Structures are given as structure tokens and as C-alpha cells.
Amino acid sequence: MSFSFLNIAMLAGLVSIALPVLAHLLSKRRYDVVQWGAMQFLLLGHKTRRRIRFQDILLLLLRMLLLACLAFALARPYGQGGIFNKIGKSVSRDIVFIIDGSGSTSWKQEQQTPHAAAIQWVHQAVEELNPGDTVSLIDARSRNRRLIHPATSSFPLVRKELDRIPEPTGTSNLTEAVLDAIRILSTTSNSSREVVVLTDGQAYPWKLDDEFGLQRIDDALKQPEITPAVAVVDLSDGKENRANISVGQIELSQQMTVPGFPIRFKTTLQQSGGVAQQVEVSLAVNGQPAPESERVVNLLPNGEAVVEFEHVFPVTGYYRLTLSITEDKLPQDDQSEAIVVVEDGIPILLVDGETQVDETKSETFFLKSAFAASGEESPWVRTEVIQPRELNAERLARCQVVFLCNLNSVTQEQRLALIDFVLQGGGVVFAPGEQAEAASWNRFFIDKENTFLPAELSSINEENPAEEELVTIESLSLEAPWLQQFRKEEGVDFWLSRYSKWWELKPRSVTVDAETPEEAAKSVSRPSVLIKLTNGTPYLVSQRIGDGTVLQFAAPLDADWSTLPARNDFVPFLHEMVFRLADVETQHNVSVGMPIQIPLNEDERPRDYHVTGPGVDAVVPELARNGRKNLASFDDTTIPGVYWYERKNAPQATRIPFVVTDDRAESDLTPLDKLAWETLAANDRVQRIELMSELTNQTQSENSRTELWWLLLLVLLVILISEVALTRKMLLEGHADLE
């Protein structure tokens, strides 16, 4: 038992214990004794004298104890731990429950998944809480979701939110979740604060290889006056060897295509643990199995395999691709999805920089012929050829991609129109020839530091006939996904294109200093060399500007400087490039945390739409701007899955789909081993529990203080009654003896 000496003067009352002793000693004062004959008949017996002496001492002790209890009661003592936890009032608590919502918690155990067990655990824990306790709730994903904040004492609200938690998917970061919970507890007021993490014992979400993350937890625990206790509950079934096969993200050759034009896509199967086996992968389009779309691949233990598909879409619209395997004990990673947009022919603008009487000698002749190769009934690309003086903002507004073919230069008005066109998602292809004025193009700036073209035009070089090797395309440089099909090993002839002349391109450095959203929307990416010639010279350089892309060639796209138009791959190459450039206007496949957006017409508002998806039920998007375009934007994409933009009071067929993807790192089910747990629990950072009662008992033991003044006053009353009773008894018995 411990005492709070808030007023030391109260303990001075213990001195009063000496008062009965002084009174007793004073009553023993000696008098003169006079003997007389009849005295012997008045003397008490020996036994009687002993009894009276014992009662006298007992009365003295009772009076001393009476004063001592009174002094102790005024000092307000309290008890802590042991039996005091049972007789005292429970301490009020602030608790943050963290439920691991990552995909691994959907593992099908014998009774229920760890995620379902976590929800049930919290339901039972709430039953043990007292009315003064508060609860906060975090759904731990790749980005944590605060389901209940600020803290609440409404336990029915907690149960309601528990029942609304979406199914587990994607990844989680439990280190960040614990830090977020500590931040929440810094705003609460109760004297006991706790964080309870409910997970499946997987090692990956703790990011133990990041020592800085654990140090951040240690620092956060030291800051508040009341240090929160962090407890971890492992709800796995304890089986360490859990084999699992996962389907990786779908990689598309392009997100947009036209009817009748095939697109290619692939995914990677990975096996964690397991044994060597054959796995069948199937393709579904809009939920319906695609004909002849099954693939069988061989997987080794802890191995991976790539599986590829090709598909042709008959009509325009949005198509949801689903690649899946036979469902196993972790179904959340047994399929992967992506959206493909099929539109009418893509409108492009061909700006011919050199007018020729003979059309076959014009700069755009081969381009126009290549884009017309698919037929006029259902063209993949709709082209319009104009002269440089006709290039303006109105023309650009009607197209998605513009080719600048051997232009000498552009006016200031045309420069502003091209910049605005690219910022809003348009694609520009710059193919310079002898007409191009290098100095003018090199001074084409977007802002004070960044230029419109990704590379500087240095000088025109020619092939040296004395060299043994011809200058062609370097096949190994074709690393971009949409270019890999043109590599040498694919048996194509694109890489055999011979070049007699080319511009020497020098990729520029980029300065990005975006402090506002408006500046970020105009940001310029670092130039990327997509294709090189065999002499090491950059042939095709790419750069993102805002939402659009600029591609810069080292040679014109005609037959003057190269044999490219004579190659069989010339037409497919141009189409892939156009689809790639037109693909960037609206992203229907985004990563977790990225906004999903649709452009609005002049008569539309964001409130005309609502968004549905995992954990989202008919939420109205917000207004966003991209240049002069109004967008409906939805930002809460913390849960991977399929989301839909739906126009109110419109047919379901008008829904616009989006897929939010996350990596499949959660598919590695490696658990926390002994060493990993010791690392996590070091410095008393966290503790391991199984039941809520364990944490409750510990909390009561460490924080419960039971005041004992009321108990001392009760003892004081008993002593007072006993003193009165003993005094009365002594008086009565003493008179009887004297008589």
C-alpha cells in the first residue's frame, strides 16, 4: 500500500497518539498511604487487579488506535494492485483497435479467417469495457482508414462500424497504423491509453527491415505524458508453412484500343512455398469467360511464371479483363483485373512541314498511308493533314495526337496552343528533318527552366560509308512494354531499319519545383530514351508534360533518311505509338491512393454522378480542374478493387469503370519468427496478448488507485464503539467488585 502525501501536515496528527499515554501516566500519580485496620476487607483480590490492569491497557491502545486511524483517514491513503483492484473503482481507458485489413488476413483457416476473427475479438472486447471508456477504430490498409475518430463512448456505433468493414485486400503497414493510433491517443483524456493490433502474425506489414520505422514508434511513445501500451494479438492458426499462389497485376500493351485491333496483356504467377505443379489461368471479359482463353503454366516452389494473352474487342465500350486461377485458401490474390477502353478511330492531326506538288514526296505521305491501312469502314485512326499555318488551338481541340513533320518552326501563338494541348493530356510527335530550325525549337520553353522538347537538336549526322556496320535500331534498347514486341527475338523487321542521316539528340535536364497543385499539374518529367540507334545515339526520346506526352524522333517518318517506311512493322509501330499517346487522357487503371477522375461536359456538375466501390456506397465526387477542363474527382481509393462512376437516373449501361490496383507483396505469408518478434518487442515497444482480459488486468494493476479513507473511517467507528463498550464494562465490573 502506498500513500499520497499531498498534505504532510495531516500526518502530524499521528502525534496525538501520545495523548492517551500521557493521560495514563498522569493518572498513575502517587499519594501518601495510611494503613488502618479495616483496610484489609476493602482490598481487591489478585485476579481482579490483573483483569482491571489488562482492561486499562486495552482501553489505552483503543484510544491510541482511534487517533491514529483519524490521522490516516485525513491523509487520503490509496491502495494499488492485488486485492485493491477488486474492491476499487475501475480506471477509465482510451483504446484504439487496429484491424489488419490486408489480403493475407483472408486466409481460410479451419474455423474462420483472421480478419473475421479480429472483428469478433473486438466485439467481445467491447463487452468488457465500462461506460467511461472510449474506443477508436483503424482499418489498416496500404493507407490507414480511421473508421472511428474522434474516440467515442457509444459502443453500438463501434459495433456498427465493425460490421461495415470491407473484405481484406491489398497490403497494410502496421507500423504506420500504430503511429496513427498514438497520434489519436494524444487527443484523449483518460488516465489509461492502449493500442490493440489484431493481425495474422505475418511479418511483411511490420516492415522490420526499416529500422527508422520502429524508431519512430519508440519516439512517439516517449512524447505523451501518459505512455500508451501497445498490444498485438496474433489470430492465425499457428501453421507456419502456408503455400500460396498469386496472380500479379495485368500489364496492358495499351489501355485504349479500337474495334478489331488486338491488344496484348500479361501477368506473372508467383508461388510462395508449395510444390511443383501446373496451374491453369483463365480470362474473363466483363465477367464472362472468353473463348479459348485458358493457359497452363508450370510453377516451381517459390517460383514464378509469365503468362500472356491477346484479345480483340468487337465494339466500342469499357471492358473489364479478369485473369484468375482456381481459388485456394487465400482467394483475394487469385485474380487480377484491368480496364480496357475501346473507342472509335482516334483523331490525329498531321502537320506537313514541306509542301510538295507530288503528294508521294510529302512529309506525311507514308503516315497517312499507314493509318489508312485498316480500311475506311472502321478506321483505327482518323487523320487530317494540314499545313503549318493552319495549326491552331481549334484544330488541336478536335484531335488527340498531333504529328509535327519536319516543321521549320512555330509561332508564339502556336506554341501556347501546343503547351495547353499537352498539359490537358494530348500527345505530340515531333519528327524533324532538314527543314527544322534547331535554334528555334531549342528555345521553345514551357516555363523559365523547362523546354517543350525533351532533347536538344544538336546537329545532323550522316552515315559513314567506311564503317563496317550499318546504323540501325538497337534491338536491346526496346525495353518499354509497348515496344518489346518489335525486338529482334520476336522475329520482326523493325530493328532492321537503316538510317543514313539523323539529328544528334541531347536529352535535357529537368527542373521540377511544384509548390502548388496548379504548378504540379504543369510538372515536367525527366526525359526517357525509348529507342537508340546501334551507334548509341538516341533515336526516340519521351517526356511527360502535365497529363500529356511529347515524343521526339531523331529523323523524319518518311523515306528520306531511313528505310523505316519500307518495313512490315512500320504500320503496327505507328498504331502502337498513337494508342499509347491517346491512352493518357483518362486513366482507368490506377494505383491505391490515386484519384479516379472523369471529364465533365459544360452542362455537367460532379453532383450529377456518384461513385460506388469497395467500402464506398454512392459517394458524390468533388470538383477538380486540369487546365481549363472540369473534372469529377474521387480521392478515397484506399481499398483495391473495381470502382464505378454512375450518372444519377441513368441506365446501368452508362457506368464508367475503374480498377484500383495494389502490389501483391501480401501474398508472401512468411510469419514473424522468434527473432523478428524479439526485434518488434524490443525496448518494451509492444507486448503479446491473446485475450482482452489480460490487458484489462494489467491496466487495472498499473493504473487503478483505490482510496482507503472510507475504510479507515469505518474502522474508526468500530474502534469508537469498542472503546465506549469497554469503558462501560470496566465501570460496571469495578462497582460490583467494590460492593
Is the Cβ–Cβ distance between 386 and 404 less than 8 Å?
A: no
Nearest to 623 by CA among 646, 605, 596, 635: 605
Residue 86's pLDDT band, with cuts at 50, 70 and 90, is low
Q: How far is CA 383 from CA 212, 352, 478, in A?
A: 55, 12, 27
Residue 257 cell numbers, joined? 484500343
- What integer pLDDT is reported at residue 1 of this predicted model? 44
> How many angstroms separate the CA atoms of 200 and 117, rounded?
10
The string of pLDDT tens digits covering residues 96-116 is: 999 999 999 999 887 889 999
Across 4-13, 208-217, 713-722, the highest mean pLDDT is recorded for 208-217
% of the chain surpassing 70 pLDDT? 84
- What integer pLDDT is reported at residue 394 of this predicted model? 92
Is the Cβ–Cβ distance between 213 and 252 less than 8 Å?
A: no
Q: Over 90: is that where the pLDDT of 25 sits?
A: no
In what helix (H) or strand (E) does residue 305 lie, and over which residues does it extend?
strand 304-311
Which residue, chain included where needed, has cell 518478434? 677
- What integer pLDDT is reported at residue 181 of this predicted model? 96
Alpha helical stretches, state H, 644-684: 674-681
- What integer pLDDT is reported at residue 56 of this predicted model? 75
Of 41-45, 353-357, 713-717, the range with the lowest mean pLDDT is 41-45
The string of pLDDT tens digits covering residues 472-498 is: 999 999 998 889 889 998 878 999 999
The string of pLDDT tens digits covering residues 499-518 is: 999 999 999 887 655 444 44
Which residue, chain included where needed, has cell 466501390? 613
In what helix (H) or strand (E) does residue 496 lie, and over which residues does it extend?
none
Which residue, chain included where needed, has cell 503479446? 688
In what helix (H) or strand (E) does residue 720 lie, and over which residues does it extend?
helix 709-738
| Phi, psi for 171 (deg, rounded to 5) | -110, 175
- What integer pLDDT is reported at residue 221 of this predicted model? 92
- What integer pLDDT is reported at residue 187 of this predicted model? 92
127 Cβ neighbours under 8 A, 6+ residues apart: none
Extended beta strands in 68-226, E state: 78-79, 93-100, 134-140, 145-152, 192-199
The string of pLDDT tens digits covering residues 204-261 is: 999 888 878 899 999 999 888 888 999 999 998 876 668 899 999 999 877 888 888 7
Is the Cβ–Cβ distance between 272 and 246 less than 8 Å?
A: yes
Nearest to 167 by CA among 237, 116, 224, 97: 116
Helices (H) and strands (E) in the chain, counts: 17, 34
Q: How far is CA 433 from CA 207, 439, 442, 527, 569, in A?
A: 53, 14, 15, 21, 22
Is the Cβ–Cβ distance between 280 and 289 less than 8 Å?
A: no
Residue 213 vs residue 126, higher pLDDT? 126
Is the Cβ–Cβ distance between 170 and 102 less than 8 Å?
A: yes
Q: Over 90: is that where the pLDDT of 731 sits?
A: no
> How many angstroms separate the CA atoms of 362 and 352, rounded?
7
Rounded average pLDDT over 159-173? 92
Of 56-65, 410-419, 663-672, the range with the lowest mean pLDDT is 56-65
The string of pLDDT tens digits covering residues 259-294 is: 887 888 999 999 988 899 999 999 999 999 998 889
Mean pLDDT of the chain: 84
Q: How far is CA 412 from CA 420, 546, 629, in A?
A: 13, 20, 23
Q: Over 90: is that where the pLDDT of 433 sits?
A: yes
Q: Over 70: is that where the pLDDT of 27 sits?
A: no
Angle, nearest 10°, between helix axes 18-27 and 46-74?
Answer: 150
666 Cβ neighbours under 8 A, 6+ residues apart: 102, 103, 104, 170, 171, 172, 202, 204, 205, 333
In what helix (H) or strand (E) does residue 701 lie, and over which residues does it extend?
helix 692-703
Q: Count CB-CB contacts under 10 A for residue 331.
A: 15
- What integer pLDDT is reported at residue 109 of this predicted model? 84
The string of pLDDT tens digits covering residues 294-305 is: 999 999 998 999
The string of pLDDT tens digits covering residues 297-344 is: 999 998 999 999 999 998 889 999 999 999 888 988 999 999 999 888
> How many angstroms separate the CA atoms of 547 and 585, rounded?
7
Q: Over 70: is that where the pLDDT of 124 sits?
A: yes
Rounded average pLDDT over 671-683? 90
Residue 365 vs residue 586, higher pLDDT? 365
Measured in whole angstroms, the distance separating CA 287 from the mean position of its chain's CA atoms is 28
Q: Over 50: is that where the pLDDT of 61 sits?
A: yes
